[in-house]
């Protein structure tokens, strides 16, 4: 009995460590061009756009998602908060679509500056950046806690 309890406790501690050791960073914001008419989105709507499940904004008009670099901390945190998926899970998700020829992941750019540039180059683009990098060229449609 005593041994059993010790093992259960050890197991629970291991699970909790697993749970809480997910990366936790600064606040992220989902942004569009300051000139975009878009007002606000919720997490599920943003997740559907970035997972390729919808090609339009809920209010209409084609949505063009822009990803940060594959190994960036912002990208990992963005997907964890909106879709619940880790980078590996996300890669597995896209592998399903890529190897059946039914989809390609969002276009990827190298930096936050590049995200802002992309949003203003194509008005219906949508991206995510660190809150500290907000400026007047973009506007927030969702704050990710």
Which residues sit at the interface with another protein, rule CB under 8 A?
Answer: 14-15, 18-19, 21, 44-45, 47-48, 53-56, 62, 70-71, 80, 83-89, 91-93, 95-96, 98-102, 104, 107-110
Pick the closer one to another protein by CB: 55 or 137. 55
Q: What's the min distance (Å) between Cβ of 48 and another protein?
A: 7
Pick the closer one to another protein by CB: 6 or 95. 95
Q: Which two tokens stand for residue 67?
A: 């990803």
Instruction: Report the alpha-carbon distance of residue 37 to residue 98 in Å, rounded.
Output: 32
Q: What's the min distance (Å) between Cβ of 85 and another protein?
A: 6
First to last CA, the chain: 42
27's CB contacts (< 8 A; 6+ apart) are 130, 131, 143, 144, 145
Q: What's the min distance (Å) between Cβ of 8 and another protein?
A: 16
Pick the closer one to another protein by CB: 26 or 92. 92
Angstrom CA distances, 83 to 44, 64, 93, stand at 8, 18, 11
Pick the closer one to another protein by CB: 58 or 134. 58
**Which residues share a beta bridge with 29?**
129, 143
Q: What's the min distance (Å) between Cβ of 138 and another protein?
A: 20
Pick the closer one to another protein by CB: 34 or 122. 122
Q: In which element (H, E) is residue 92 found?
A: helix 87-98
Q: What's the min distance (Å) between Cβ of 78 and another protein?
A: 13
Summarize the chain as % helix, strand, coil (round to 5): 45, 20, 40
């Amino acid at each position: 009995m005593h041994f059993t309890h010790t093992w259960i406790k050890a197991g629970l501690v291991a699970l909790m460590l697993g749970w809480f050791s997910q990366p936790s960073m600064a606040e992220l914001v989902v942004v569009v061009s300051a000139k975009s008419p878009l007002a606000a989105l919720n997490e599920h709507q943003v997740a559907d756009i970035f997972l390729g499940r919808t090609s339009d904004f809920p209010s209409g008009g084609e949505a063009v998602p822009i990803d940060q670099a594959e190994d960036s901390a912002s990208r990992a945190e963005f997907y964890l908060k909106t879709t619940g998926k880790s980078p590996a899970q996300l890669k597995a998700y896209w592998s399903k679509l890529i190897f059946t020829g039914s989809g390609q992941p969002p276009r990827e750019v190298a930096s936050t500056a590049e995200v802002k540039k992309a949003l203003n180059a194509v008005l219906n683009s949508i991206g995510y950046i660190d809150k500290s990098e907000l400026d007047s060229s973009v506007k927030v449609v969702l704050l990710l806690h």
